Structure 1
Amino acid sequence: MVRKLLDKGANVTLIDDSSFTPLHIAAIAGHTDVIELLLNAGANPSEVVGTSGLTALDYAVSANFVDVVKVLLDAGCEVRHRPETLRYAAISYCQTSDPEVLHLLIEAGIDPCTLRSRSGLLALYGAMLHRHVQIARLLLEAGVEVDLRKRAHFGIPSALRLALMRNDTEMETVLSRVP
Structure 2
Amino acid sequence: MGERNGPAERLVGAASSGDTAEVGRLLVEGVAADAPDGERRTALDRAACAGHAEVVDLLLRAGADPGQPIGEYGGDQTPLTAAVGWGHADVVRLLLAAGAPTGPQTRFGWLPLVHAATGTHGDPLALVDLLLEYGADLEERQRGLTPLEWACGLPRPEMVRHLLARGAVPTLKARARAVYWGARQHPEQVDVFREIVAALAASAAAR
TM-score (norm 2): 0.66
Q: Runs in 1 of length 4+ with deviation above 6 angstroms? A: 167-171
Partner of 2:19: none
Partner of 1:161: none
Q: Shift in Å at residue 34 of structure 1?
A: 0.3
Instruction: Note the alpha carbon deviations across 1:86-144, whole angstroms, 9 max, x for none.
Output: 34333315x6663111111122222223465x8968535635742432x2233113332
Instruction: Note the alpha carbon deviations across 1:48-72, whole angstroms, 9 max, x for none.
Output: 2573342211210111111110110
Partner of 1:162: none
Contact kept, 8 Å, 1:12 with 1:41, in 2: the verdict is yes
Aligned-partner Cα distance in 1 for 2:199–2:77: 38
Partner of 1:68: 91
In structure 2, stretches of 5+ residues that fail to align are 1-21, 184-189
Q: Aligned to 2:161, which of 137, 157, 168?
A: 137
Contact kept, 8 Å, 1:73 with 1:108, in 2: the verdict is yes
Query: 1:176/1:100 Cα in 2 relative to 1: closer, same or farther (>3 Å)?
Result: same
**Number of residue equivalences:** 170
Query: 1:148/1:21 Cα in 2 relative to 1: closer, same or farther (>3 Å)?
Result: same
Aligned-partner Cα distance in 2 for 1:154–1:175: 13
Q: Aligned to 2:82, which of 59, 77, 89?
A: 59
Alignment of 1:1-179 (within 5 A): 1-49=22-70, 51-82=74-105, 83-86=109-112, 87-93=114-120, 98-114=124-140, 122-124=147-149, 126=151, 129-133=154-158, 135-147=159-171, 150-152=175-177, 155-156=180-181, 166=191, 172=198, 175-178=201-204, 179=207
Which has the larger displacement, 32-41 or 84-93? Answer: 84-93
In structure 2, what residue type is equivalent to 1:176?
Answer: A
- Considering only aligned residues, what root-mean-square deviation do their CA atoms show, in Å? 3.4
In structure 1, stretches of 5+ residues that fail to align are 159-164
Contact kept, 8 Å, 2:44 with 2:56, in 1: the verdict is yes
Query: 1:136/1:90 Cα in 2 relative to 1: closer, same or farther (>3 Å)?
Result: closer
